[in-house]
Amino acid sequence: MTRLLLLADTHLPKRARDLPPEVWQAVDAADVVFHAGDWVDLRTYERLTARVAAAGGRFVGVWGNNDGPELRAVLPEVATRDVGGLRFAMTHETGPATGREARADAAFPDVDVLVFGHSHIPWDSVTPGGLRLLNPGSPTDRRRQPFCTYLTATVAPAPAPAVLTDVTLHRLPPR
């Protein structure tokens, strides 16, 4: 079993001074940490990747539309990884909700799970082509949502076909 943490849209230090303690605990517990962009500052990236490495985990990240040249120099626009036999892709923005599934199927035909951000709105759906779409929301900027959020999940690996299980949206208490 591989434990995953999915984050996006942290917007530090503009929307909060730091990640909530619950998120740092989830970083320490995860085997793989995904961040779907809109970090805003390089320091957050450096702190998060150092913490992931110290905990013996793996990190996958992309830049978002609010990320400047420093972050774009160290992060790709789209990242792909195999985790326990599941093929993941991640990008910051997927466009409007209307038509998202069809666009994702066309853009990521060889992927099992697409992680994205941008809207700050949690999303969990499966496309007609079988692609799982996940947006963790934001742990620091709830915008029009009732809570700040992040996602955790587990990959149950082969020899049976790998599956994504225990997908859980975590609501953070008001700060």
Number of domains comprising the chain = 1
pLDDT in tens, the chain (175 residues): 999 999 999 999 887 889 999 999 999 999 999 999 999 999 999 999 999 999 999 999 999 999 999 999 999 999 999 999 999 999 999 999 999 999 999 999 999 999 999 999 999 999 999 999 999 999 999 988 999 999 999 999 767 789 999 999 999 988 7
Tokens of 96: 């409007």
The CATH number of residue 18's host domain is 3.60.21.10
SS3 of 52-109: the string is HHHCCCEEEECCCCCCCHHHHHHCCCEEEEEECCEEEEEECCCCCCCCHHHHHHHHCC
